[in-house]
Amino acid sequence: MIDRAFALLLTAVAVLSVARIVSADEPAKKPASVLDFKVQDIDGKEVNLKDYQGKVLLIVNTASQCGNTPQYEGMETLYEKYKDKGFEVLAFPANEFGKQEPGTNSEIKAFCSSTYHTKFPLFSKIVVKGDGIHPLYKFLTSKETDPKFGGDVTWNFAKFLVNRKGEVIGRFQPGEKPESETVVKAIETALAQSK
């Protein structure tokens, strides 16, 4: 009886060991594109970025009290001009640089709506650099996941251009205005690509 119990115990240990080996050999699915992330909109509702598949995206970390804040106007102009062709501006308020986005989500939403009449998607305030960095921005700025355009965000209104497949295809520094010839040309080129 003891031999049989011991044999059952050994079998159970072996099964558990194999199960542990199998799960250890199966790596967690790593995000392959911007479309693999979920975020919260400015009202706190979950948004799956897969919903933007087939669209060209300009992802921007924003702030309401920055010298670059008037770029909201240019972002809205671009959005209105190209939205019917499959273009979206995704704005992510962040407070890492000069504490220039101290407001709550509802205050940010009211400011953008009343001051710049924005209609493009606004998302909940997130961390774009350092401790607590949001997984989307970790993906955008990591040299491992974005070798061509990775690197820390240096200030408010850094811009990442994403193609219809969710791949980062361009990056523009905070001081580069959204309506600049360089940004517009890159957006138009991306929009000309097939879905």
69 neighbors 108 (Cβ within 8 angstroms): no
Of the listed ranges 1-10, 105-114, 126-135, the least confidently predicted one is: 1-10
pLDDT of 155 > 70? The answer is: yes
pLDDT of 74 > 90? The answer is: yes
- Residue 137: count other Cβ atoms within 10 Å of its Cβ: 23
125: confidence class by pLDDT, cuts 50, 70, 90: very high
Q: Which sequence spans correspond to the domains of the chain?
A: 34-192
pLDDT of residue 20: 45
pLDDT of residue 95: 97
Residues acting as catalytic residues? 66
Place of tokens 């948004």: 47
Q: Which class would CATH give 34-192?
A: alpha beta
Place of tokens 């408010």: 156
pLDDT of 21 > 70? The answer is: no
Q: How far apart are CA 151 and CA 107, in angstroms?
A: 30
pLDDT of residue 29: 73
pLDDT of residue 135: 97
Coil/strand/helix, residue 59: strand
Compute the average pLDDT of residues 5-26. Answer: 47
pLDDT of residue 113: 96
Q: How far apart are CA 187 and CA 195, in angstroms?
A: 14
pLDDT of residue 30: 84
Compute the average pLDDT of residues 78-92. Answer: 98
61: confidence class by pLDDT, cuts 50, 70, 90: very high
pLDDT of residue 31: 87
Virtual torsion, Cα 182, 188, 193, 195, nearest 10 deg: 120
DSSP 103-123: S-HHHHHHHHHHHH---S-BB
138 neighbors 92 (Cβ within 8 angstroms): no
